[in-house]
Amino acid sequence: MPFKTRLLAVVAPLTFGVALALPLLVPSTASAHRGWMVPSATVLSGEGAWVGVDAAVSNELFYADHNPMRLDAVVVTAPDGSVEKIQNPATGKYRSTFDVQLAKPGTYKIGSAVSTITASWTQDGQVKRFRGSPEDFARQVPAAAADLKTIKSFNRNETFVTRDAPTTTVFAPTGKGLELVPVTHPNDLVAGEAATFRFLLDGKPAADLEVTFAPGNSRYRAAPGDFKVRTGADGSFKVTFPEAGMYWMNAVVRTGETGRGPGGPGMGGPGVAPGGAQPPATPLAGDGMSASYTATLEALLP
Amino acid sequence: MKRSPPKLSMSLLTFAGAAVATPALAADLAVTVEVPRLTVAEYHKPYVSIWIENPADATAAGTLAVWYDAGSKEDKGVKWLKDMRQWWRKAGRAMSFPADGISGATRAPGPQKLLFSGAKGPLKDLKPGQYNLVVEAAREVGGQEAVRVPFAWGKPGKPAVAKGATEVGAVTVAVK
């Protein structure tokens, strides 16, 4: 992590005041584990088109150097809105891979939307903890639990591929979590041209949301090249991709108690194992929610 | 590429234009595209799209010809159409292939003389004005290049020439 090291070296000798800001700075840059799905192509032509997808959680983009992405929750939404399974899935040490056949013309969404509830409550004088799906929450956590505190998170991680002309069926909002609404189609991105996107949070415009873009090929760049933009009141923002390539896009909304430090949930999408009830008997500090959105986008040469 | 003899289509258009009293654009577009001869270890004839561009907004005003390997058993050639990426984005992705009167086989190195009838295809309804003729080539295990040649549609004019650097040789365009 050369960037982190350089940051420390430059900032530390200044003042204590500046040094205090460091813990907030670092997770958003150098030490963020970022979940991604990179398709072998995003713009395809003709019948018989397939893409292979690499999926991993890593620091450098897009190098599988940390953990494979879990594929349990990854599905394919076809241009007609039908949901299909991924094909030939395999999970290795550092990355998962799978295939998607583009049997129909139009735009496919490949991704996961994972809803997780973390909860604590008191039962028989003991603190109980839960982490899992809303369905398991309803089954396993008593409805009238004492001191019940919940953190609800909704994490999306997506990429898009188009065979022949782009379509927009897969972007129909569901009203859950953070969702991308294309003004510019995500498979119609060209380096140097301004693109417009819009974010919705639970179906409403996600205003004043910070959106991070990080280009791939970071290993061969002196500085990572990340940049941030902010949504307006209607949840929309403009972005111009400086050069052709794959980009990682991420936005996170947190309110209330989220039980984690900065840069916590959402970065890895479905990389977090659900259902693993942790025994540390400490109650949550309060109620909260988080929603994250991650996508891998490709900007083509003009 | 099968096209009617140009003289026949010209006279047809003139006749039709006179009959309905619309301004007859009794013109054809003569295009010569040089497919460059390349000394490379693995050579495949390029896929080539020839299309008309509105210079004001860079949108496509019509596709005149697409040369590709429609006979490929593996993918009918359509798999690589997207590599002519400017044309694919602006026109190709909304078309279906093979496209009648547009699809054609890939061509060998050397000058390729073409004549597009003003009575047919996108030229038939093209309004008089300034356009670019774009020749965009993409070659398997090679590169991609688009060459633009400006031309004025509506009346006969002098030939205009532009030359590509890598994948497209000299392109000559004349309204006749």
Does A166 reach chain B within 8 Å, measured CB to CB? yes
The answer to whether B116 touches B104, Cβ cutoff 8 Å, is no
Question: What predicted TM-score, i.e. pTM, was given to this entire model?
Answer: 0.84
Q: Which long-range contacts (CB under 8 A, 24 or more apart) does A134-142 make?
A: A136/A274, A136/A275
pLDDT above 90 for A18 = no
pLDDT score of A203: 98
Pick from A44, A48, A302: CB nearest B82: A44
Q: CA-CA distance, B119 to B145, in Å (whole number)?
A: 29
Q: CA-CA distance, A114 to A266, in Å (whole number)?
A: 10
Pick from A45, A188, A301: CB nearest B79: A45
The alpha-carbon gap from B80 to the nearest alpha carbon of chain A, in Å, equals 7
pLDDT above 50 for A177 = yes
Helix (H) or strand (E) holding B153: strand B144-153
Query: What are the tens digits of pLDDT across the range A248-264?
Result: 999 999 999 876 544 33
Closest by alpha carbon to B137, among B87, B63, B94?
Answer: B87
Q: For residue B97, what is the nearest residue in chain A, using CA coordinates? A: A46
pLDDT score of B25: 54
pLDDT above 60 for B12 = no
pLDDT score of A122: 94
Confidence of residue B97 (pLDDT cuts 50, 70, 90): very high
Chain B interface, Cβ < 8 Å to A: 75-82, 85-86, 88-89, 92-94, 97
Query: What are the tens digits of pLDDT across the range A54-93?
Result: 999 999 999 999 999 999 999 999 999 999 999 999 999 9
ipTM of the complex: 0.84
Cβ of B79 within 8 Å of Cβ of A165? The answer is no
Length of chain B measured in residues:
176
Confidence of residue B76 (pLDDT cuts 50, 70, 90): confident
Closest by alpha carbon to A248, among A222, A267, A220?
Answer: A267
pLDDT score of B4: 42
